Amino acid sequence: MRKFLIASVAAVCIAGSVSADGHGPAIAGVIQSQIDAFLADDFATAFTFASPGIRMMFGSSERFGSMVRDGYPMVWRPAEVTYLDLETEGGRPVQKVLITDQSGVPHVLKYYMIETENGWQINGVTVLEAGALGA
């Protein structure tokens, strides 16, 4: 069943959409840059990809890093990252990302993006329920 689920998600990825306005590559680039910083344990750099509201909420890259390590271990140490659909919610882009953790378990996350004077930034992340993998 798990292999079928992963294959289904991969099929969606291959046919995945990039937004009509062309922001998909830039948004995926920001998310990937933050993930790369997490992989290097460079929380100061990872923090720069967070929106001003997120940075204000956590106050420091150390607190932000602790939250990611504890609350989003699949993001801190992903085994595989695949970009799915870029959608719009409330007029803002939301990038779905399939992250397979080190144990081989797939997770679909929604990255809520905002455009600032510094370019695209991550304004929040939610992990979808397992049933949402086929969505």
Condensed to tens digits (0 to 9), the pLDDT of residues 90-107 reads 999 999 999 999 999 999
- Report helix, strand or coil for 45: helix
- Strand ranges for 14-118 from DSSP E: 80-89, 92-100, 106-116
**Distances from the Cα of 128 to the Cα of 39, 40, 52, angstroms:** 22, 26, 24
**What's the whole-model pTM score?**
0.81
The band of 11, judged by pLDDT with boundaries at 50, 70 and 90, is: very low
pLDDT digits (tens, 9 = 90+) for 37-77: 999 999 999 999 999 999 999 999 999 999 999 999 999 99
